[in-house]
Structure 1
Amino acid sequence: MKNKFLMILLIFILLITNSLISLAQGNYNFANLKKLNYKVIAIYPHDQTAFTQGFEFKNGHLYEGTGLYGNSSLRKINLNNYQLLREIKLNYTYFGEGITLFKNKIYQLSWKQQTVFIYNKDFKLIDIKNYQGEGWGLTNDGQQIIMSNGSNYLFFRNPTDFKIKRKIKVHYQKQSFDNLNELEYSNGFIFANIWQQNFIIKINPQNGEVVAYLDCSQLVKKAAQQSKQNINVLNGIAYDQKNDEFLITGKLWPQIFRLKITE
């Protein structure tokens, strides 16, 4: 009887473990998809009140866009100690989303307000453009602005009028990837968070094919262990071009992780 009970318990544990693995990967099949390895180079402090929506690293400074109604902002930050060097708060009617720095301008999306704010490098608002649908993530390839809206598509927009030039469907084999969120462009590829998942995918911008993925489950675990409050999802990818390294964080996380990715 005891052995039968232990066998049932073991099967139950295995089922729970497999379910958690599937949940972490969003039930996506990563068979034969390249897994990117990484090494944590450094860990920096992060404001745990920051509901991170956009994340960029430029000229030695970190830029962050935060969300939530009444708490949305755009920030310029000293990475080493998270000292705020500059900050502007959005009107309480706007829920801030992704950001990108493009030719001395900063673009910041809003979630459901169909508005993108355009600032100069001193955070002075210089233009406002509108778009249809929701705004989630934002990056650029040096020529076009690349935007996600929570679907399985990425949209390439004209930086001047913000009109759509083309779009790609993000997929691997016969699977499409929904809930595309915060974005980063690096070395000819787009890196994307998937909302509520613990991994980042690497996307070919020409055809939308997912070519590799990064499992961030251990980073999520470390952030949760160091937190004095509940953390939210993985969401924040900034690329340090000078050092060829990535800065990774999440909503309400206490830490920012510097990673060296090895393929």
Structure 2
Amino acid sequence: MKLVLISIICGAVALSSCKSNDGKSSYAGFKLPEQGQSFGLGQEVKVELEIPANEEVKKISYLLDGKPLGTQDGTGAYTFATKGLSLGYKQITAILENGNTKDTITTNIVLKSSIQPKLFNYKVINVFPHDTSSYTQGLEYHGGRLLESTGEYGSSSLRWVDLKTGKALQRVDLDPKYFAEGSTLIGDKIILLTWRENVGFTYDAKTLKQNGTFTYQNSREGWGLTFDGKRIIKSDGTNRIWFLNKDTYKEESYVDVYDNNGPVDQLNELEYIDGKIYANIYQSDNIAIIDPNTGAIEAYANLTGILPAKDKFANTDVLNGIAWDAVGKRLFVTGKKFDKLFEISLIPVTK
């Protein structure tokens, strides 16, 4: 959650050190909203400024995260809608103009989800073998095969796996200095992340021959990866989801993920299913179903008990790995060093 803390600190610094164009300290401040005040997505935000009676203001321009919100002549309350915005910390800027002079002040608010997430249980439809040496980091289904990337230093790999047998049809091992993370298929190319090495790899999907590299610009680590047909979607272990250009791999935008209680971090392996992002939450049995436009968690799928106790071994690790058969409408899940991969259906929890 370093990114959130940085946002708070930056907002506080900006508020306490505002300067006008002539270098003098700001004469104005925010009465409303309060610094760091929370609002539910969809709520209106009322902005009121504290301006000394002896100061004349002819025009005020408002910005949200640097983008214009609107203007008003003179002083008075200003209100803006939050419907359609993404969640997380937002910076409000007010630019006060009086003839040839300008004064700029800022404050921060946080937009939280107002959605009560739906709850799902599961039903196991089919069970398939899974290699217990696979520390599963990425998982996708393509044309009867699974694309799987596995982690850990010294044993990281990228594989095409036969669904029915769980055996690798093709495999390439990474240099021991790399810890492989999420992977995704884009056309004839596979994109693979590494954990803390700040580098990603590209491979030929047919031969698994490495043919390129790229670096991360903003995110601190590589965790999960998926593709929505237009953008690469990436997690980094926080509550932030990044959207990357599919050709340049540049991080172009992001959403912060919240449920109705606050930010939800440890977002791990990802899958894009029918317009939503499905994300494993690391070290839990929950899968979050996320609106990619706002970052709001719309539902949780609780997969507690999917791997029976009798099938857990000394090296069996946590649930991780979601794959979607878009043609057959089949959902697959597994875990790190699980001996099974499950085809499941999600069942709404009724009260």
Common fold by TM > 0.5: yes
Partner residue in 2 for 1:45: 129
Amino acid of the structure 1 residue aligned with 2:312: S
Q: CA deviation at 1:159?
A: 1.5
Matches within 5 A, 1:1-263: 32-121=116-205, 122-132=207-217, 133-220=220-307, 222=308, 224-263=309-348
CA distance in 2, matches of 1:230, 1:135: 23
Counterpart residue identity of residue 227, structure 1? K
**Alpha-carbon displacement from aligned partner over 1:55-94 (angstroms, at most 9, x marks no partner):** 0101110111000011000010111011211000000010
Structure 1: distance between partners of 2:329 and 2:345? 7
Other structure's SS at 2:306 match: helix
Question: How many residue pairs were aligned?
Answer: 233
| Paired residue secondary structure (1:70) | coil
What secondary structure sits across from 2:133 in the alignment? coil
CA distance in 2, matches of 1:50, 1:177: 27
Q: Which of structures 1 and 2 has the larger relative contact order (alpha carbons within 8 angstroms, sep 6+)?
A: 1
* Contact 1:52–1:251 under 8 Å retained in 2: yes
* Letter of the 2:175 counterpart: N
Greater helix fraction, Structure 1 or Structure 2: 1
Deviation at 1:175, TM superposition (A): 1.0
CA contact (8 A) 1:245 1:261 kept: no
Given that 2:216 and 2:251 are in contact with CA atoms closer than 8 Å, whether structure 1 keeps it comes out as no
Counterpart of 2:299 in 1: which secondary structure? strand
Q: Which structure 1 residue ranges, 5 or more long, are not aligned?
A: 1-30
Q: CA RMSD in A?
A: 1.7
Structure with max Cα Rg: 2
Partner SS, residue 305 of structure 2: helix
Structure 1 stretches of 4+ with a deviation exceeding 6 A read none
Q: Of Structure 1 and Structure 2, which has the larger fraction of its residues in strand?
A: 2
Tell me the equivalent position of 2:19. Answer: none
Q: Hey, what does 1:27 align to over in structure 2?
A: none
Alignment partner of 2:148: what SS? strand
- TM-score (normalizing by structure 2): 0.64
Normalising by structure 1, report the TM-score.
0.85
Note the C-alpha offset of 1:174: 4.1
Gaps of 5+ in 2: 1-114
Matches of 1:255 and 1:126 in 2, distance apart? 32
